[in-house]
A and B are shown apart, each in its own frame.
Chain A
Amino acid sequence: MLPSKLAALRHLLHEMEQELGLDVLSPVQRDVLYAAHLLSENSDTFTTAQLRRHAMVLNVPKPTFFRVLKALLENGHIIQGTDATHGVYSLGPNATK
């Protein structure tokens, strides 16, 4: 199966998952997303370091934090900023869902 077709199928079913409300965030994912929301109140973008230092995620182990960050990126809750090499992010289209 061509990768583009598999990707389209995965995308279709991921949309289905989101629209059916089955794409529920874990407590840690919610904490990181809330922290991202709070950081976005002052500025449109935030960095990995700012997010990592935020009181809501301070106790999250480093590997978990980065795994959660990756998941939030994949789900469109946050998106990478134009200066991606410096770990700059902003809230994504699914951030309020």
Chain B
Amino acid sequence: MWDRIKSTSRIFTHPATIISAAYAITYLITATLLSGVLIGVSADPTASASLIFLPHGVRIIAAWLYGWRATIYILPGAYITHLARIHDDHSLSLSDLLGPAFGVLYASLCFSGLACLGHDLRFDASNRTNWRDILLVGALASIINSAGTNLVYGNGLEVTAAYFIGDILGMIAVMLVLMFSFRLHRKYCS
């Protein structure tokens, strides 16, 4: 019985569960509360560009903490968000599933690229990373992501800029929400 409880709790505290849950929750909040438009209703990518795209914050933090492994950890979350959208499109395209993973991969590549240039910001328990550096990597990853999306879908500059702004504001929002959550935890639970 005790072993069963332990193995169940291990599933809930596994990075894949936490990252996927965080991705799915932030994605659904963005889709329902923040964007004001239903994701996937329109084929026009501008309709799904949100001013505050919260999942970008999850992608960057996941990539910082887990590197390239976060690309795998986020896949269940990507599938869950797809399931939440199947009321208008039952087909699961490869880009639906791999899009979020690529978002994390870009961030992970940014961390590795900066490390090659002598600015190692990757997670290391002995090495303290500043929050501004995380925002910088998030901005770089967003540029690559927006440019990649632009190449695939042939979006204009306006849409690319909308994605970039959404990513940056989303990342800041996630960090602020986490910051205030930890602050409340310190205040009331310690």
B65 proximity list for chain A (CB < 8 A): 1, 5, 8-9
A-B pairs with beta carbons under 8 A, tally: 44
CA distance A15 to B183 in the complex (A): 12
A1 near B178 with CB under 8 A, answer no
Is A11 engaged at the interface, CB distance under 8 Å to the other chain?
A: yes
Bitwise, B119-159 to A at CB < 8 A (1) or not (0) is: 00001010011110010000000000000000000000000
Q: How far is the CA of A22 from the CA of B190 in the complex (A)?
A: 19
Q: Do A14 and B15 touch (CB < 8 A)?
A: no
Question: Chain A at the B interface: mostly helix, strand, loop or mixed?
Answer: helix
CB distance from B31 to the nearest CB of A (A): 25
B183: chain A residues within 8 A (beta carbon): 17, 22
A17 touches which one: B129, B179, B190 (CB < 8 A)?
A: B179
A12 in contact with B186 given A1-B13, A1-B18, A5-B123 (CB within 8 Å): no
B131 touches A16 (CB 8 A): yes
Q: Which of A1, A2, A13, A71 contacts B179 (CB 8 A)?
A: A13
- Chain A interface residues (CB < 8 Å from chain B): 1-2, 4-5, 8-17, 19, 22, 70-71, 74
Interface residues of B (CB under 8 A from A): 13, 15, 18, 61, 65-66, 123, 125, 128-131, 134, 175, 178-179, 182-183, 186, 190
- Having A5-B66, A15-B130, one finds 20 other A-B pairs with CB under 8 Å, namely A1-B13, A1-B15, A1-B18, A1-B65, A8-B65, A11-B128, A12-B129, A12-B130, A12-B131, A13-B131, A13-B182, A14-B179, A15-B131, A16-B175, A16-B179, A17-B179, A17-B183, A22-B179, A22-B183, A70-B190
